[in-house]
Amino acid sequence: MRNIVWCRVDDRLIHGEVVTAWIPFTHANRVVVVDDEVAKDDFNKRVLKSLAPAGTQVAVLTVAGATKALQKDPKPGERVLLLTKSPIVFEQLLDGGVAIKQVNLGGMGIRGDRQPFVNNVSASPAEVDSIRRMKNDKGVDVFYQLVPEQKVIDISNLL
């Protein structure tokens, strides 16, 4: 299994908080964005790759592609930060056999059927159900934390 050091839900994917806070905090040297739509969009893939700090490799994969890639043997010294736009994607990775211990809920804006959930996180009913299953049935630590300097907020009472 690849060396996954951090899993974050953030619908902005690679942006300021990820580049200036989470990559340094986790010492990640590889970012894997998992999103079926973005993986089909060559322009957006190029943009995401250009936003990463020097020396940080970026891969943009579909859920199916990431499921296979993340189950390969780790490369020496590799530290992977996984980014998705929705907690549902992390549940799909788990169901595909990817070992995930924790999921950090970050920026999830109001759109579609998302409603306010905790602080600046909004979630749809399907996303809340996914978080509940990951936390209660699959033993994944799901929590809110905007940046590393902020304290972790337990979301158990919101489920």
* Phi-psi group of 126: left, alpha or beta (phi > 0 → left; psi -120 to 50 → alpha; rest → beta): alpha
Total number of residues shown for the chain:
159
Q: Would you state the pLDDT for residue 90?
A: 98
Helices and strands, counts by H and E, the chain = 7, 9
Amino acid identity of residue 32, one-letter, is V
The contacts of residue 67 (CB under 8 Å, 6+ apart) are: 92, 93, 96, 97, 98
Contact at 8 Å (CB) between 2 and 69? yes
Tens-digit pLDDT string for the chain (159 aa): 889 999 999 999 999 999 999 999 999 999 999 999 999 999 999 999 999 999 999 999 999 999 999 999 999 999 999 999 999 999 999 999 999 999 999 989 999 999 999 988 999 999 999 999 999 999 999 999 999 999 999 999 888
Q: Would you state the pLDDT for residue 19?
A: 95
Contact at 8 Å (CB) between 62 and 96? no
Q: Would you state the pLDDT for residue 1?
A: 80
Q: Would you state the pLDDT for residue 159?
A: 83
Q: Would you state the pLDDT for residue 80?
A: 98
Give pLDDT tens digits for 21-67. 999 999 999 999 999 999 999 999 999 999 999 999 999 999 999 99
Q: Would you state the pLDDT for residue 157?
A: 87
Q: Would you state the pLDDT for residue 120?
A: 85
